[in-house]
Amino acid sequence: MNSTAQHHDAEGAKLGMWLFLFSELLLFGGLFVLFAVYLQRYPLQFAAGGRELSVAFGTVNTVLLLTSSMTVALALEALRRNRRRLCESLLGFTLLAALLFLVNKGFEWHAKFQHDLYPGSATLQQAPPGRDVFFGLYYLTTGLHGLHVIIGGVLLAWILALVRCDRINGASPTVLENGALYWHLVDIIWIFIFPLYYLLL
């Protein structure tokens, strides 16, 4: 395959990834619009629900994702400079941050279940209307985001394996570029989730 064909393939892959990311933004954008609509209807209940969430958990996860977004960007730059070992280390750190994010989220959800705060629980059934809507949206949005973290982690682990096998290098970084774009999307979505749910007054 000549360099022109490779260039066109790379550009096509990037375009396809951008279109996919746009569809993901529409999905989460719809959830954020739904949140805004119900926030207008149940402002006091949503504020009460937000106070039940742990800002500490949310802050730790925000730091983890921001850091991992930086390390995946540095990994891409290392690959472009053909510093394969450094790229592997940075991707490994990104995967560790993703795992810690999921573990932290698991502890947070467990604490909420321990306090009987989940859709259909007796506590929420007895609470004022709107409180159950808040937690329903909370679990739906953070659960869907968590699924994207898992998908992104699997994708980056696969890319790490390709880098180790020298299937991806500085001359052909497109796969890592697309993987990094996806991971940045995961980060950006959380940047919206954190203030909407955890910093709601």
- The distance from CA 85 to its chain's CA centroid, rounded to whole angstroms, is 26
Integer Rg of the chain from CA = 20
Give the 3-state secondary structure of residue 35.
Answer: helix
C-alpha distance from residue 30 to each of 121, 141, 151, 160, 193 (Å): 26, 10, 21, 33, 13
What is the count of structural domains for the chain? Answer: 1
Domain range holding 51?
Answer: 3-198
Residue 19 near residue 182, CB atoms below 8 Å:
no
Give the integer Cα–Cα distance in Å for 66 and 37: 28
pTM of the model: 0.90
pLDDT tens, position by position, for the chain (201 residues)? Answer: 454 444 546 676 777 778 888 889 899 999 999 999 999 999 999 999 999 999 999 999 999 999 999 999 999 999 999 999 999 999 999 999 999 999 999 999 999 999 999 988 999 999 888 999 999 999 999 999 999 999 999 999 999 999 999 898 888 889 999 999 999 999 999 999 999 999 976
CATH number, residue 43: 1.20.120.80
How many CB atoms sit inside 10 A of residue 67's CB?
Answer: 16
How many CB atoms sit inside 10 A of residue 119's CB?
Answer: 14
